[in-house]
Amino acid sequence: MSATIGTEFNMNVLVINSGSSSIKYQIFNMSDNSVPASGVIERIGEPQSSLKHRWLKADGEYAEISLTQYVADHKEGFQWITDVSEDTGLTKQLKELFGIGHRVVHGGEIFHEPTVINEKVIAAIREMVPLAPLHNPANLVAIEAALKAYPDVPQVAVFDTAFHQTMPPHAFHYAVPYELYNKYNVRRYGFHGTSHQFVSRQAAAYLGRPLKELDLITLHLGNGASAAAVKGGRSIDTSMGLTPLEGLIMGTRCGDIDPSLPFYIAQRSGMSMNDIDKMLNKESGLKGICGANDMREIISRAEENDVLAALSLDMFCYRIKKYIGAYYAVLGGTDAVIFTGGIGENAALVRKKCCEGLDGLGVSIDTEKNNSPSGEAREINRSASPVKVLVIPANEELEIAVQTVETILAAK
């Protein structure tokens, strides 16, 4: 079932993406995949929390408000969302929720697909906390708050890692003592799975071909970035690993490095391993090279001959190009290279630099097409190119909504 499931069902689905101090939400009307409301609460637990709420009015136009108040926890946050939604005319949508879909970052090896949430599932997600200490606890808080707020609505956990559970053992194992896998679940898991799955489905629809017949290289490029090799709709390799730190250079994450580097830094600088972990996750990547992690700023500075901005841009694109080549080899060729995410969708220069010199693989960009912005799925390759180069807008929330409906229907 594809992300156009909404054309078949008249139902409302609430999608929740929770952080440690935030709640992002969207309500989808699955009859046409429209969004009657969306918003975000930030700074939960701080003296002044904020809520940005956008909703569709009766006249078909969107309105938006920004509010502030103290919100002690996620339970109060959900109540605030409910109150504001009802105040803006969304009472019917909330009372007729078919389901609630939760983004959960880490499902380990337990969850290979979305699942209806119950106490057993909650306990299993809690067991995964050591693998995602910054993310799973926040996801759990949101799940428990939503269950209290909407006790009669089926709720589904959609895992970032699930799509990559089809990786074969030779792709997900690390070459470290095997007992570390048995004892501590040390292996590569991969992330951004919902995004990679969504754009794979959309690519198949765009190309008018069955997904099971396609070999795809998907590139989710934003402040977090990852690549995936998708064969017949199944992930067979991806750039992120045990954590989201491995792989591509990102906004503040280093990506692939020599494993000895943290020990060398500790010996030479006296930094603790916790400080180094923080540095590699929050102070490295693009920010570590040029002091900025916003690609728009980096490109602007590079065009003004800022040496470090140009270096960070070149490093970012070079690493992506290496992964394109690697996954071309893994797949034995590819039908399409897909760019998505904030950078992938909007930075024409990044797309150009990532694909330069890949003509031998059949990857060739048309400059005019690449430089023509669009909010729709499109191809930017030269007409004679054997490999399609696609730009597909990310919509992880819609994919979560679709998977929520599929999972609830399958469980009935």
Question: Of residues 73, 87, 160, 277, which has the active-site annotation?
Answer: 160
Going by C-beta distance under 8 Å and a sequence separation of 6 or more, which residues neighbour residue 383?
366
Q: Measuring CA to CA, how many Å separate 73 from each of 18, 42, 133, 136? A: 12, 11, 18, 16
Which stretches of 154-306 are DSSP H helices?
Answer: 169-172, 179-184, 193-207, 261-269, 273-282, 285-290, 295-303
Query: Is residue 6 a contact partner of residue 30, using CB atoms and an 8 Å limit?
Result: yes
Neighbours of 205 (CB within 10 A): 15
Phi and psi of 4, rounded to 5°?
A: -95, 20
Q: Measuring CA to CA, how many Å separate 325 from each of 113, 146, 227, 396? A: 29, 43, 11, 26
- Verify whether residue 294 is a known catalytic residue: no
Q: Say which amino acid occupies 1.
A: M
How far is Cα of residue 254 from the mean position of the Cα atoms in its chain? 18
Query: Is residue 128 a contact partner of residue 71, using CB atoms and an 8 Å limit?
Result: no
Catalytic residues: 160
